[in-house]
Amino acid sequence: MSRIERFLPRRHLTPVSPNATPAQDHAPVSPADDEAPAIAVEDLCKQYRSHWAVDDVNFIVPKGWTVGLLGGNGAGKTTTIAMIMGLIVPSFGRAMVLGHDMATERHKVLGRMNFESPYVALPGRLTVRQNLTVFGRLYGVADLKARIEELIEDFELGDVLDRVTGRLSAGQKTRVAIAKALINDPDVLLLDEPTASLDPDRAEWVRSRLTAYQKRRRATILLSSHNMTEVEQLCDFVVIMSHGRVVAMGRPAELAERFKCRDLDEVFIYLARVA
Amino acid sequence: MSQSLNRIAAMTARYYYILRSSWLRLLEIVYWPAMQMLVWGFLYTYLYDSKSAMASTAGLLLGAVLLWDVLFRGQLGFTFTFLEEIWSRNLANLMMSPLQPFELAASLMLMSLIRLVIGTLPVLLLTFVLFGFNVFAMGPGLILFFLNLVLTSWAIGLVIAGLVIRQGFGAESLAYSIMIVLLPLCCVYYPVAALPLWLHPVAWSLTPTYVFEGMRAVLLDGSFRTDLMLECLALNAVYLGIGFTTFVALLHSARHKGGLLTMGE
């Protein structure tokens, strides 16, 4: 097998069968959707003029898995995530979430998804409580008051609840943003650098909360991160991108072994230099 | 349907929270119309007292200023409320939520109306107290004038919001400037007859023209031109449809172009 999988025919890049199970024993999220994986990216391409930001990307994320989408700056991760969210329409190919094409049927599934990204902020002039209330109502959360109380407890937001979101520290804002991302108990959660602005202690704390949520809800998480320790800790499977293409994918330990590296950090650096 | 109403209410609450978060913002809504009204009000007083040939047109001037402000502030209220989403980098959060484009538009319309009422009522009161000009003397027709101008302001606001989504901050200045293009063409301060003949079709294609002609008919002849108002309502229905279609088309185009996620950066 070539060490750079970009030269493989694209169908070889499909990582796992939708029926495969992650390391943990997870049941499907919804019996009605048993047939469809949580996320299916098929021949996905995005072209901006002559530049291919995403070039023929294929992978699937079975329900209940946490998958890491890795790559250096400009690798195409954010564009791929944006296409999975339906915020960008692919030039070719498609991104499916819970069986729905996100370019054309996104409104059928948006209520079951949520996301957090450093590119997006919550309205800074609103208090944390107001923000959670507004988004809870947008997502049609039943018993919103109780859900907000749960999130306050889970993310220790009691002290900042009535403070204006724009005046919180970066770490507090991240906690609020993740609380917002969980407001509707999403089946599919997309996280772009969820702990980028947190100190190691807080980052570890947030990871433990995400793991707890994932186990409780049996949710599917697609995570983009530059923190390989985080990825190894959270992810069942990783997809590594470079220059808009998938260059490797597999379980973190398998990748380290395949590329004869000590850990995912080394795999990442190796691929970033040669891919 | 109830979910839709709930989302519209959530968005309106979101904008209301912003509005009440700063007394300066509230003051600003009243400040500009009030200052403008003072200037025109003093001119009205001067013309009225001068007993010149211009005296009879003084009321027209003040009525025109008041109604023009409804159109202008209605559009600003719509567009600025939308721009809040761009400034706060919140648009992607909304686009990723179950909020539908028509629900976003409905909440912006509702907020535009709330801002208009906050900005206009004190000014109307001020005009009556300081200058003795009672805009309600125009009768129930005033409601139709108001309604038509607000509908026009929303149609324009929808197109501007769509352009901002599609083009980014480059289109932001349209929020301030686009109405100025309409000002000479929709005959705010003079009748359509004052325009060159070749501009008449242009003027009659603009809905505010019907309102200002209708206002002059009320103030000069004491007659309410129902025909003008009905034509205006029909035209507004078309323009609102075009405005919303354009908004959705530009939103769709922005999803092809990319940039919704990073908008506001």
ipTM of the complex: 0.87
Q: What is the pLDDT of residue A35?
A: 61
| Minimal C-alpha gap between B69 and chain A (Å) | 28
What are the tens digits of pLDDT across the range A176-185? 999 999 999 9
pLDDT confidence tier of residue B220, bands split at 50, 70 and 90: confident
Q: Does B258 touch chain A (CB under 8 A)?
A: yes
Q: Which of B68-77, B119-128, B173-182 has the highest mean pLDDT?
A: B68-77
Question: For residue B42, which amino acid is it?
Answer: F
pLDDT confidence tier of residue A16, bands split at 50, 70 and 90: very low
Alpha-carbon torsion (A181, A182, A183, A186), positive or negative: positive
| CB-CB under 8 Å, A140 with B3 | yes
What are the tens digits of pLDDT across the range B110-153? 999 999 999 988 988 988 898 888 888 878 888 899 999 999 99
Q: What is the pLDDT of residue B53?
A: 66
Q: Does A59 touch chain B (CB under 8 A)?
A: no
Q: Does B248 touch chain A (CB under 8 A)?
A: no
Give phi and psi for A14, each to the nearest 5: -60, 120
- Element of type H or E holding B73: helix B58-87
> For B66-81, what is the mean pLDDT?
93
pLDDT confidence tier of residue B17, bands split at 50, 70 and 90: very high
Q: What is the pLDDT of residue A106?
A: 93
Is residue A31's pLDDT more than 50? no
> For A121-136, what is the mean pLDDT?
94
pLDDT confidence tier of residue A50, bands split at 50, 70 and 90: confident
Q: In whole numbers, what is the pLDDT of chain B averaged over residues?
A: 90
* DSSP strand pairing (A245-250 vs A51-61): unpaired
> For A186-215, what is the mean pLDDT?
90
> For B85-97, what is the mean pLDDT?
90
Predicted model pTM: 0.87
Name the residue facing A122 among B90, B258, B265 (closest C-beta).
B90
| CB-CB under 8 Å, B89 with A121 | yes
Name the residue facing B265 among A119, A135, A139 (closest C-beta).
A119
Helices B23-50 and B58-87 sit at what angle, rounded to 10 degrees? 160
Q: What is the pLDDT of residue B264?
A: 57
Provide the β-strand partners of residue A96.
A40, A101
End-to-end CA distance of chain A, in Å? 15
Q: What is the pLDDT of residue A34?
A: 54
Is residue A267's pLDDT more than 50? yes
What are the tens digits of pLDDT across the range A145-157? 999 999 999 898 9
